[in-house]
Chain A
Amino acid sequence: MTYIESSTLTAIAKDYLEELKKRNDPLKARDRLKIPLQEMPSQDPHIRAKNLEEVATGYTEEQAILEAMRCLQCPKEMCVHDCPVMVNIPVFLKYIADGDFQSAVDEIKKTSLLPAICGRVCPQEVQCQLNCTVGKSLKDVDQAVSIGRLERFVADWERKQGTVKLPEIKPETGKKVAIVGSGPAGLVVAADVRREGHEVTLFEAFHKLGGVMRYGIPEFRLPNDIVDEEIETLKKIGVKFQTNFVVGRTRKLHDLITKDGYDAVFVGTGAGLPLFMGIEGENLVGVFSANEYLTRANLMRAFEKDKAATPIYSSKRVAVLGGGNVAMDAARMSLRLGAEKVYVVYRRTEVEMPARKEEVQHAKEEGIEFLFLQNAKRILGDEKSRVKAMECLRYELGEPDSSGRRRPVVIPDSEFLLDVDTVIVAIGNGSNPLVSQTTPDLKVNRWGNIIVDDNQKTSMERVFAGGDIVLGAATVILAMGEGRRAAKAINDLLAEDLIKDQS
């Protein structure tokens, strides 16, 4: 893929659409399969690498209609089954193809509350688009219908119209629910539980809401305004938010139920405990967890260098360790903060990389260099203990390991030095210990993840959990799926309580 300007993409789509309109006979499946996949318009890579504005600028109406027309409306509906919240995808695509964008967004919102966010950050290529019949017919998963881009298109369209509808709220029940953490899981629970008429208070340790969508995912991939608007909707339906409130410390989890009268609690505190490599030199000045680097840049707004009080390390040559979305975010952020050379160092090959293809593609376009089959051995410092280089090893792929991926094996004596002044470690997160440390009754597994049953219920009465604190580091949509399940269980529990109260 090479970069094509948005105006060109739109012009091509317009011409194609007009040709199709001239036809009198209905489109057949083979006609639909011939419609070219609509590329996502984006900012010029040379320009965007220096700014924080959103990289992908979104489909135009013509592109959206044309892309939606690629859907065959096949009876298999694999897309629906592969979606963690089971959005009725063919229905909303049909509405888009017919130009009825409002109905399309209404259809999505029956199941997914945050389409503007999901459309941007869901890994569609391994979910709804993975088994798409169009992709299968064209023998390329990258040729599947671009469901995520279309979801984003209609969500953005609705916002621009100013017609965002508030969900209906049932009469007040007098029941109170506390939600711990305002990330994707917590927000979904808040909405679903509030809709049943229960009072909802959401506790957030930080001063800003949104969890990982605020501190982790950068502005250029998910603008803060979009997160703000989704939260604003929740405020409008009466969800209360309490920031700077560290459940476990400011108030014990237990006290929320026994002293503060909450009828149920949902814990969605995320996977915030960065892992390090355990190699020599990792505590040198200039080595950061991706969490720290991104939190400084995003939440604390260190990218506004002249305004923000929070400093960020000034880097010229950066090595990012890891191959996930967080690694891509950190690498691309460091570029935007002024780094001249950025490497992503990953010990397997591109095929095994867990990051979304689109993010890898964007990173490459922006000039980030990928060092595959290589990994850090140790980090070297200068006399002031600042990073001056990283010693790496080369690997080759051996036999498959328990994850089914071929295991990287060190090539002996393959050491070489990488000239860097900053190392960002993005190899994943453990579970945040704060709530479990202060709540002995809450059962966790040996990695510290909260143990839940099929309904997201924990070992404690009336306490539910979901998202990364249960799953380990996963994705926004999986967290939302868990939130949805937890909310249903909480609503069921409170409905039972209400019946008992009456009798």
Chain B
Amino acid sequence: MNRIIDKKQLSKDVYQMKIEAPLIASERQAGQFIILQIDEDLGERIPLTIADADEAAGTITIIYQVVGKTTHELSQLEPGKYLPVFAGPLGKPTHIENFGRVVCVGGGIGTAPLHPITQALKNAGNHITTILGARTSELLILTEEMAKLSDSMIICTDDGSAGRKALVTEPLKEICSQDPKPDLVIAIGPPVMMKFCSLTTKPFGVKTLVSLNTIMVDGTGMCGGCRVNVGNEVKFVCVDGPEFDGHLVDFDNMMMRLNSYKEFEVHNHNCHLENQMSSLEKKL
């Protein structure tokens, strides 16, 4: 179990891995995530969304961006290696029904968790409009896969290197202004993108779901590190989420909390660079 079957680099810092995990592959539903560790004793637990699954083959697909020590080390592992800790599926599955017209907004790596949700919504008979955005064309992922699921698709980049030179909120606003309005918006991406998508749809009264990726330790409700303010309540992303009503999430607080260990990460990253340097020196 937990063998890496396949690895693919999707863009500069984004990798896709297929992992052998038959139990998770058969139980998982759209919207759920897993937690993994690279080292059983000293490793960190990181949550990653399940981007796809193949029940017959007993595999699931994860897509991640290299942002810290653990994701960097993960990206260095080759097929054939086993991950010592791989637990899931965690979190509440997305509530799927035929809502009618749904707009799926994916920002950067956020397209990975958006993919299985779009799949499930499509299967339930929804009309899908997809908006994918990234800083630059290289950072767009799963465009073909998403196009297959979508009735129409809009691509935006900050620098205009692909599709429209715009932020995803621009086409989102246009779609919300049309008649009929969308019945549901699902926005998954960087916190700031989800915040502004929610602010964009709010005046139109279009229900907007966001999927949060906060700091977690156990992922089973035990530590409360993932807590966010939703409306006037404190919610745990791992057991109450990861999806919440974007109009109620306190994004500012969430973004602040995501920075809790920034200093540690920087230190860790530097240590890592120093290690790399010294190992290079040894080789020379």
Give A residues with C-beta under 8 Å from B: 205-207, 215, 243-246, 249-252, 272-274, 276, 278, 282-286, 288-289, 291-292, 295-296, 300-301, 304, 307-311, 313-314, 384-385, 432-434, 437
Contact = CB atoms under 8 A, between A and B. Distances in A.
Contacts of A311: 44, 261, 264-265, 268
User: Which of A215, A292, A307 is packed against the most chain B CB atoms within 10 Å?
Assistant: A292
B215 to A, nearest CB: 9
Interface string B14-53: 0000000001100100000000011111111100000000
Given A301-B42, A309-B43, A289 B265 contact: no
Contacts of A284: 256
Interface residues of B, number: 47
Contacts of A282: 234
Given A244-B87, A314-B263, 7 more contacts: A207-B87, A251-B23, A283-B229, A285-B257, A285-B259, A288-B224, A289-B225
Contacts of A434: 220-221, 239
User: Which of B87, B228, B236, B250 is packed against the most chain A CB atoms within 10 Å?
Assistant: B87
Interface string B183-220: 00000000000000000000000000000000001101
A313 B260 contact: yes
B175 interface: no
A274 B263 CA distance: 26
Contact of B88 (A246, A276, A283, A310): A246
B250 to A, nearest CB: 8
Given A300-B45, A309-B70, A273 B221 contact: yes
Contacts of B124: none
Nearest to B229: A283
A292 B217 contact: yes
A275 B40 CA distance: 28
Contacts of A205: 87, 218, 220
A155 B222 CA distance: 31
Nearest to B240: A433
Given A244-B87, A309-B42, A311-B268, A250 B23 contact: yes
B42 A304 contact: yes
Nearest to A205: B220
A292 B42 contact: no
Contact of A273 (B44, B222, B259, B268): B222
A433 B45 CA distance: 21
B224 A283 contact: no
Nearest to A305: B264
A233 to B, nearest CB: 21
Given A244-B86, A301-B42, A295 B259 contact: no
A74 to B, nearest CB: 44
Contacts of A307: 42
B87 A245 contact: yes
Given A283-B257, A434-B239, A272 B37 contact: no
Given A249-B88, A276-B234, A295-B217, A207 B40 contact: yes
B162 to A, nearest CB: 35
Contacts of A300: 44-45, 217
B3 interface: no
Nearest to A272: B222
Contacts of B229: 283
Contact of A310 (B45, B221, B250): B45
A432 B218 CA distance: 12
B84 interface: yes
B248 interface: no
Given A295-B222, A311-B268, A437 B256 contact: no
19 contacts: A205-B87, A207-B84, A244-B85, A246-B88, A249-B27, A272-B218, A285-B259, A286-B260, A288-B225, A291-B223, A292-B225, A300-B217, A307-B42, A311-B265, A311-B268, A384-B259, A385-B253, A434-B221, A437-B239
Query: Which 5 pairs show the lowest CB-CB distances between chains A and B?
Result: A272-B222, A292-B223, A309-B44, A311-B264, A289-B224
B90 interface: yes
B42 A308 contact: yes
B182 to A, nearest CB: 30
B87 A274 contact: no
